[in-house]
Amino acid sequence: MRNVAIVTDTTACVPQEQVARYDIEVVPVQLIFEDKTYRDGIDISPTEFYARLRTAKKMPTTSASSPNPYLEAYHRASRKARSILCLTEPSRFSAMFDSAKVAVEMAKNTLYNVVIEVLECTTAAAGQGLVALAAAKAAALDKPLEEVKEIVKNIMSRVNLFATLDTLHYLVKSGRVPQAAALVNSLLNIKPIFSLNHSDAHTVALPRTTKSAMKRMLKLMEAEVVKGQPLHVAVMHADALEQAKTLENRISSQFECKEIFITEFTPVMGVHTGPGLVGVAFYGEELPA
């Protein structure tokens, strides 16, 4: 039995092979599509979800978070580690942090000798995934909980995330942006780029094409990376694999990547962004002083 087990959720967009390799417990977030409830990544795949979303008459919604899936994940994790670290997206984006904390209180009735801590990530999507992977790698080396937490906090402070949207249509439908913004988007054919760092989402550029958006994201990466700094990179996409491969190839040729992989933007996040999203989350290794 090792020191620490890692728990996160499907919004982190961790590829299944990485989940299996590092033995991460992943809580499936629920979404409601055409009056039926699905567990993200279990009952519906990203490919199926985006295909249906393109023709849906009624937009899907996310289900209110429940503590029970977290409690179940804690029980599974307790069979392989003496302590558990759970990572969620920022509480301003969802109730998952609160649900994970409630589940800790519930677990005290049965998991008497297991220490469970919940950390709210300052990033989300593949950025959260990179943090979870860093935590899982440290846990695999059997580092103690406090050391894993320090590694996580350090990585969180260095993760950057940039993504471009194909359309604002789905954000309007979800009530996240006003109708006027979608009108401008449709008239000018803008592919907005947003950043998500330190729990805050900002629009950072308004290119006209996906091609120019990817070029701009590379420029934004350049501004954040020290020359020669080894990077950990996750390229994410919502039913836009070819664009993701193009972006992955450009990043690999332009930067020194210690780790780079493509991951699908999970359906529970795609509810708000729609298909066509392409983005990158990354952090650089700390260089010697």
Q: What is the DSSP string of the chain?
A: -EEEEEEEEGGG---HHHHHHTT-EEEPPEEEETTEEEEBTTTB-HHHHHHHHTT-SS--EEPPP-HHHHHHHHHHHHTTEEEEEEEE--TTT-SHHHHHHHHHHHHTTT-TT-EEEEEE-SS-HHHHHHHHHHHHHHHHTT--HHHHHHHHHHHHTT-EEEEE-S-SHHHHHTTSS-HHHHHHHHHHT---EEEEETTEEEEEE--SSHHHHHHHHHHHHHHHS-TT--EEEEEEESS-HHHHHHHHHHHHHHS-EEEEEEEE--HHHHHHH-TT-EEEEEEEPPPP-
Predicted pLDDT at 180: 43
**CA dihedral in degrees (38, 44, 104, 111; nearest 10)?**
110
pTM of the full structure: 0.92
Q: Which domains does the chain have, with CATH numbers?
A: 2-29+65-156 (3.40.50.10440), 160-284 (3.30.1180.10)
* Nearest CA-CA partner of 193 in 215, 213, 211: 213
Looking at residue 174, what is its pLDDT? Answer: 58
* Integer angstrom CA distances of residue 172 from 178, 181, 273: 6, 8, 9
Q: Which residues of the chain have pLDDT under 70?
A: 64, 172-188, 198-199, 287-289
Q: Which of 121, 133, 28 is nearest to 70 (CA)?
A: 28
Q: What was the pLDDT predicted at 247? A: 97
Mark 33-50 as b/e (b = at least 16 C-beta within 10 Å). beeeebbbbeebebeebb
Nearest to 269 by CA among 2, 5, 8, 9: 9
